[in-house]
Structure 1
């Protein structure tokens, strides 16, 4: 039987520590994805299979978990929202843009609801929300450069209709299917952009 050398023992501890840290982040994201929009540190520790002390040994507070979670998942969020076929007529691009956003809203809706529910508590979530809103606005102009020709009021209406908040109202509050909600948003955008 060999005894770990002085050099390898710290590496093993670091690896275990990193695994625990990742388990905590994944546990919180999994819980949010399943609908626990405001998970507590105790719930996260139980889900991750670590002690509550371990959570706060790795993270100063819940906000710092959100910081790491955003860093871990940001590229996934952006891949969904910034993807899609951007060619074709205005009518085709409106449909594709709405379908792409619907895809992102359906996958990450609970993450957005968590952000909206807790942004008053955590500066990180407030800043993340503002950053993503700016990104979504810029991205919609990339899909639809025709927005530049609209007056300010019509342009703001387009952004409101294309928002997660409006999507969530259609899907959750009004109980519309995904397909029907896409149709509502597309029809409204077509109207604002002079197609109907």
Structure 2
């Protein structure tokens, strides 16, 4: 008997690929519905948008919470891919504009899902973890982009300033500027640039 294992059946591989594609389309349908109405959509609504049966959803996700978690992971990965750090070594104004522009576009795309996560996180430790991870990613980006200015501060002050900057550039902060105050995208971005610039200490001569 040959010691080599037999190759996988093309039928099995094709079935797996179709299943993964169906899973992705269900996630995309969930996200599309959330963007239209920031409430957790029903299984019937998701199935209708995706073009599959309700049974297809629960064949791939044990419950709607698992689908929310998968959608959060998908959106976080997509946000990371669409928002690489740029101009990290630029001058102060270049870094300010770059960081704010990247963050503003991330918030513009993600506010609807963020509200669903915030409303649902008390029901799920997994969703709480995704919310926490998203904030940690934002903090890490702020620390990277404003490293020269933060480097002049004592540890405690640096931490406090990062906390303040993360709160300032929270998704809901962006949504309030856009929705409640009616600011156009560029004007809202200018508000963030102005506020961050005021909060940061002077840039060191070698920064």
Q: Post-superposition shift, 1:36?
A: 4.0
Q: State the match for 1:163 in structure 2.
A: 170
Q: State the match for 2:62 in structure 1.
A: 60
Q: State the match for 1:134 in structure 2.
A: 136
Matches within 5 A, 1:44-193: 44-145=46-147, 146-150=149-153, 151=157, 152-193=159-200
Report which stretch shifted further, 57-66 or 35-44.
35-44
Report which stretch shifted further, 174-183 or 67-76.
67-76
8 Å Cα contact 1:31/1:39 also seen in 2: yes
Q: Can you list the C-alpha shifts for 1:2-23, whole angstroms capped at 9, x where unaligned?
A: xxxxx66656654554443333
* 1:187/1:11 CA distance change after superposition, 3 Å: closer
| TM, length-normalised to structure 2 | 0.79
| Residue correspondences, number | 189
Alignment RMSD = 2.3
* 1:99/1:53 CA distance change after superposition, 3 Å: same
CA distance in 2 between partners of 1:190 and 1:160 (Å):
15
* 1:22/1:80 CA distance change after superposition, 3 Å: closer
What secondary structure, in the 3-state scheme, does the structure 2 residue paired with 1:120 have?
A: helix
* 1:97/1:13 CA distance change after superposition, 3 Å: closer
8 Å Cα contact 1:82/1:139 also seen in 2: no
What secondary structure, in the 3-state scheme, does the structure 2 residue paired with 1:149 have?
A: coil
Q: Post-superposition shift, 1:62?
A: 0.7
Q: State the match for 1:35 in structure 2.
A: 37
CA distance in 1 between partners of 2:123 and 2:27 (Å):
19
CA distance in 2 between partners of 1:82 and 1:101 (Å):
10
Q: Can you list the C-alpha shifts for 1:116-168, whole angstroms capped at 9, x where unaligned?
A: 22212222221101011011101111000122434254443222212222212
8 Å Cα contact 1:80/1:103 also seen in 2: no
8 Å Cα contact 2:139/2:162 also seen in 1: no
Unaligned runs of 5+ in 1: 1-6
Report which stretch shifted further, 172-181 or 131-140.
172-181
